[in-house]
Amino acid sequence: MSHNSSPDSNNGAQQGELGPRGRLAITVAWCSFLSASVATLVFFAFVDPAPIVAALQPTGALPGRTALYSLGFFFFWIVSAVSAGLTASLLCTPPPARKS
Amino acid sequence: MSRAEQPPADESYYQAHQKVYPREVKGRFTTLRTTAVWVLLGLFYGLPWLRWDDRQAILFDLPARKFHLLGLTLWPQDFIFLAWLLVIAALSLFFFTAVGGRLWCGYACPQTVWTEVFIWMERFTEGDRAKRMKLDAAPWSGNKLMRKAAKQVLWIVFSLWTGFTFVGFFTPIDVLAEKVLTLSLGSWETFWVLFYGFATYGNAGFLREQVCKYMCPYARFQSAMFDRDTLIITYEADRGEPRGGRRKGTDPRAAGLGDCTDCTMCVQVCPTGIDIRNGLQYECIACAACIDACDSVMDKMGYPRGLVRYDTQNALDHKQTRVLRPRVIVYGVLLLALCIGFVVALAMRQPIGLDVLHDRNTLYRTLETGEIENVYLLKLINKDSVPRRLIVTVTSEHDDSGQYRLDPAIPTFTVPAGEVFNAAVRVRKNAWDDSAETSEHHEKHEHDERSDEAGVSELRFEVRAEDDPSLRASAESRFFAPRR
Q: Give the per-residue pLDDT at B9.
A: 45
CB contact under 8 Å between B210 and A26, yes or no, is: yes
Using alpha carbons, select from B380, B373, B460, B440 the residue that is nearest to residue B414.
B380
CB contact under 8 Å between A27 and B65, yes or no, is: no
Give the separation between CA B292 and CA B25, rounded to whole angstroms: 7
Is residue A15 very low, low, confident or very high in pLDDT (cuts 50, 70, 90)? very low
Question: Can you say how many angstroms the Cα of residue B70 is from the centroid of all Cα atoms in its chain?
Answer: 17
Domains in chain B, CATH or no CATH each = 17-349 (no CATH), 352-433+452-480 (2.60.40.10)
* Strand locations in B36-81 (E): 51-52, 55-56, 58-61, 66-69, 72-74
Looking at per-residue pLDDT, the higher value among B400 and A7 belongs to B400
Give the separation between CA A56 and CA B55, rounded to whole angstroms: 34
Of B16, B18, B65, the CB nearest to A7: B18
Q: Give the per-residue pLDDT at A8.
A: 38
Which residues numbered 167-186 in B keep a CB inside 8 Å of some CB on A? 170-171, 186
Largest CA distance in chain B: 114
Residue ranges per domain, chain A? 18-92
Give the separation between CA B209 and CA B228, rounded to whole angstroms: 26
Mean pLDDT (10-residue bins), chain B, 484 residues:
44 60 85 92 93 88 86 82 90 90 90 92 89 89 91 95 94 91 89 94 88 86 84 89 82 85 89 88 88 91 89 87 88 94 87 86 82 87 84 77 76 83 86 49 40 68 85 86 71
B82 CB burial (10 A radius; 0-12, 13-18, 19+): middle
Give the ipTM of the model, two decimals please.
0.78
Whether A14 has a pLDDT exceeding 70, the answer reads no
Q: Are B163 and B54 in contact (CB under 8 A)?
A: no
Of A12-21, A41-50, B189-198, which one has max mean pLDDT? Answer: B189-198
Residues in chain A with CB shorter than 8 Å from the CB of B211 are 26, 30
The residue of chain B nearest to residue A32, with distances taken between CA atoms, is B215
Is residue A80 very low, low, confident or very high in pLDDT (cuts 50, 70, 90)? very high
CB contact under 8 Å between A23 and B76, yes or no, is: no
Q: Give the per-residue pLDDT at A35.
A: 93
Of A7, A11, A23, the CB nearest to B214: A23
Of A7, A23, A70, the CB nearest to B21: A7
* CA dihedral of A40, B41, B272, B291, whole degrees rounded to 10: 140
Of A5, A26, A46, the CB nearest to B207: A26
The residue of chain A nearest to residue B212, with distances taken between CA atoms, is A27
Q: Which three-class secondary structure state does DSSP give residue A27?
A: helix
CB contact under 8 Å between B264 and A6, yes or no, is: yes
- Taking residues A20-48, report their average pLDDT: 89
Chain A contact present for B422, CB below 8 A: no
Residues of A near B (Cβ–Cβ under 8 Å) read 1, 3, 5-8, 10-20, 23, 26-27, 30-31, 34, 41-42, 45-46, 48, 64-67, 69-70
Residues in chain A with CB shorter than 8 Å from the CB of B191 are 70
Residues in chain A with CB shorter than 8 Å from the CB of B13 are 20
Is residue A4 very low, low, confident or very high in pLDDT (cuts 50, 70, 90)? very low
> How far from each other are the two terminal CA atoms of chain A, in whole angstroms?
54
Chain A contact present for B131, CB below 8 A: no
